[in-house]
Amino acid sequence: MVTQVSEDTKLTAIGGQTRTIGEWTTTFQLLTVVIDPYTHESAWLLETAGRILSTFSGADCRVAWTVTADERDA
């Protein structure tokens, strides 16, 4: 289910900066697959999500994985 996420939500790159979604997407649209490494359901989606992100890698958008974990578990 698609949900509108507040642009004030903060995302942290692995080993990098913390910025809001609004700051990360100022120039490009963002296509992201959100997974929770602590659930089995996320594992079911990995192959399909990888194909989707590969398909859009040449498009006019940024593609990314979003992992709902701390840096150590990501």
Q: pTM of the prediction? A: 0.57
The answer to whether the beta carbons of residues 52 and 35 sit under 8 Å apart is no
Q: What are the structural domain ranges in the chain?
A: 26-74
Which one, of 71, 69, 1, 72, lies nearest residue 37 by Cα? 69
State residue 23's pLDDT score: 84
pLDDT in tens, 2-52: 678 788 988 888 878 898 988 877 767 888 898 998 988 888 989 999 999
Regarding predicted confidence, which is higher, 3 or 63?
Answer: 63
Which one, of 65, 5, 69, 71, lies nearest residue 39 by Cα? 69
59, pLDDT greater than 80: yes
